[in-house]
Structure 1
Amino acid sequence: MKIALMMENSQAGKNATVLNELNTVVIPQGDTVFNVGMCDENDHHLTYIHLGIMASILINSKAVDFVVAGCGTGQGAMMSLNIHPGVNCGYCLEPSDAFLFNQINNGNALALAFAKGYGWGAELNVRYIFEKAFTTGERGMGYPLERAVPQQQNAGILNDVKATVVKENYLDTLSAIDPELVKTAVSGERFQQCFFDNCQDAEIEAYVKSVLK
């Protein structure tokens, strides 16, 4: 699995800690982590609005399989990611949230709070969240198991409803966003390396290149 880590400006100082915990959990099982920003307060400036654009480009182009995002409360990141087609982001404050989202909702992104409740032992909580999100076996198996079938059906229905509500194809949606917002979102060096090295959609790649000119 290819996983992108992204966080906005107010929490950039925690990037190294979060990255270390994510790497500790997923690298031993062969996953790849792309730290696409922000890495510190002096890095390419991002808000949670940019995180949604970045996540949507990476997910819809199949450059990554999963996104871990975060802001102060996690709420802004979750809302920003969820407005985009193809991105299904859960809100995660503790390990059980990650496990239940994994098993019941089977989405492709998590939004974490990196200020609210981030105190003593916070790095342990983050590590355990990642363990439940990425090392608990096959996703979407349901919890409790006797509820697996309706949960799987409802997760599929929710995806269908979102695809119906967002009528345009992804590129139409992306190109309708203020180009300056998109340009800021995709201008980071690490984001570009992750995207251009792994993008599997030529049309999305061409659009990103056009915005960067």
Structure 2
Amino acid sequence: MKIALINEFSQAPKNALILGILKEVAEPLGHTVVNAGMSQTDVSSGNPGDYPADNPCITYVMTGIQASLLLNSGAVDFVVTGCGTGQGALLSCNMFPGVACGYCVEPADAYLFAQINAGNCLSIPYAKGFGWGADINLRNIFTSAFSAPIGQGYPPERRPQQNRNAGILDGVKRAVAKELPDAIRAIDPAIVRQAITPNFLAVFREGCKVPELAELVDELVG
């Protein structure tokens, strides 16, 4: 799998730590890890309004826009995201079609979400409860999430029913949501453009497999 890390500005100082642990765990398992998140070098201040136009501040609101474009375009297969509590990124990501985001505080959350819900995005709290031993917890979360193929079921004998339910949920979401290009165009363009940071754009352009979404992003950037 190709896994993208997305994090917003409040957790930019932890980007290198999260990325390092994710690479340490996922790459020996055969996965590729790319960084679309804000890093310490991107942080100009604590005020989102102070960021330059060519590298805008990302809040949890924009993580859903980024995750939806990366996943629906085929640029990546899985997104690891989060914010201070993990709740804002979770809500933002789950608004969009093609994104099934789970809330993950401990390794069991990651394993059960991957095997039962067969999702493609994890939201992790990087401030709340992120103290002594947090690096160990992150390492174990990523190991639980990526060591086995997704959607194997838990317990294994319930795999057919669980996979069927995950497919039904995805179908319901697509039925009640706009198609992604329509959804992106329905959002205030200023908010969407704010989500198109250099880190995100590099990952998107490198892997995008859907011409319509590539044209949409180019239109917004242009």
Tell whether the structures are fold-level matches, with TM greater than 0.5: yes
Matches within 5 A, 1:1-213: 1-40=1-40, 41-42=43-44, 44-135=56-147, 137-166=148-177, 168-186=178-196, 188-213=197-222
Taking structure 2 as the reference length, what is the TM-score of the superposition?
Answer: 0.91
SS at match of 2:183: helix
Partner SS for 1:116 = coil
On the 8 A contact 2:38/2:199 being kept in 1, the answer is: no
The amino acid of 1:111's aligned partner reads S
- Deviation for aligned residue 1:37: 1.8
State whether residues 9 and 59 of structure 2, in contact with CA within 8 Å, keep that contact through their aligned partners in structure 1: yes
| Residue 31 to residue 145, structure 1, CA distance change in 2 (3 Å) | closer
Tell me what 2:52 maps to: none
CA distance in 2, matches of 1:8, 1:197: 21
- Consecutive aligned runs of 4 or more in structure 1 exceeding 6 Å deviation: none
Whether contact under 8 Å (1:38, 1:44) holds in the other structure is no
What SS does the aligned partner of 1:119 have? coil
Identity %: 50
Give yes or no for contact 2:65–2:195 (8 Å, CA) kept in 1: yes
- Give, in whole Å, the separation in 2 of the partners of 1:196 and 1:10: 25
User: Number of matched residues?
Assistant: 210
- Work out whether residues 89 and 109 of structure 1, in 8 Å CA contact, stay in contact via their aligned partners in 2: yes
Q: Which runs of 5+ in 2 are unaligned?
A: 45-54
Query: 1:44 offset after TM fit, Å?
Result: 4.0
Q: CA deviation at 1:149?
A: 2.5
| TM-score, normalised with respect to structure 1 | 0.95
Q: 1:116 is matched by which residue type in structure 2?
A: K
Shift of 1:142: 1.0
